[in-house]
Amino acid sequence: MNGRSRLELVCPAGTPAALRTAITAGADTVYCGYRDETNARNFPGLNFSRVEMEASIAHAHDRETKVFVAINTFPRPGDAKPWHDAIDDSVKFGADALILADLGLLAYATDRYPHVRRHLSVQAAAANPDSIAFYVRHFGVRRIVLPRVLTIQEIASINKEIECETEAFVFGSLCVMAEGRCSLSSYVTGKSPNLNGVCSPASHAIYRQEGSEMASALGPFTIQRVGLDVSAPYPTVCKGYFTAATYEGHVFEDPASLDASALIPQLATAGVTGLKIEGRQRSRAYVDAVVHKLRRIVDDYAAGLEIQAGCLSQLSEGQNTTHGAYRKTWR
Residue 248: strand pairing partners: 243
Nearer Cβ to other proteins, position 4 or 110? 110
Nearest CB to other proteins, comparing residues 39 and 194: 194
299 burial class (0-12, 13-18, 19+ CB within 10 angstroms)? middle
Looking at the Cβ atoms of 5 and 153, the one nearer to other proteins is 153
| CB nearer other proteins, residue 5 or residue 143 | 143
The span from the CA of 73 to the CA of 207, in Å, is: 28
Q: Tell me if residue 191 falls in helix, strand or coil.
A: coil
Q: How far is the CB of 240 from other proteins (least distance, A)?
A: 7
Least distance in Å: CB of 99 to other proteins?
16
Nearer to other proteins, 3 or 220 (CB): 220
Q: Which is nearer to other proteins, 143 or 148 (CB)?
A: 148
Closer residue to other proteins (CB): 92 or 137: 137
Rg over alpha carbons for the chain, rounded to the nearest Å, is: 19
Between residues 268 and 325, which has the closer beta carbon with respect to other proteins? 325
Q: Which of helix, strand or coil describes residue 288?
A: helix
Closest CA to 120 of 82, 156, 162: 162
- Three-state DSSP class for residue 58: helix
Collect all residues with Cβ–Cβ distance below 8 Å to 287 and sequence separation of at least 6: 11, 12, 13, 18, 21, 22, 25, 279
Which helix H or strand E contains 193, and what residues bound it? helix 193-196
Q: How far is the CB of 268 from other proteins (least distance, A)?
A: 22
Considering the complex, what minimum distance in angstroms separates the CB of residue 20 from other proteins? 9
Shortest distance (Å) from residue 3 CB to other proteins: 28
| CB of residue 48 to other proteins, shortest distance in Å | 10
What is the rounded distance in angstroms from the CA atom of residue 94 to the CA atom of residue 117?
11
CB of 36 to other proteins, least distance (A): 12
CA distance 13 to 63: 15
| Rounded Cα distance, 154 and 272, in Å | 12
Q: How far apart are CA 255 and CA 295, in angstroms?
A: 26
Angle at which helix 103-112 crosses helix 81-93, to 10 degrees, equals 40
Minimum CB distance to other proteins, residue 61 (Å): 21
Cα distance between residue 134 and residue 245, in whole Å: 41
Determine contact, residues 126/147, Cβ cutoff 8 Å.
yes
Nearer to other proteins, 118 or 282 (CB): 282
The least CB distance from residue 241 to other proteins, in Å, is 6
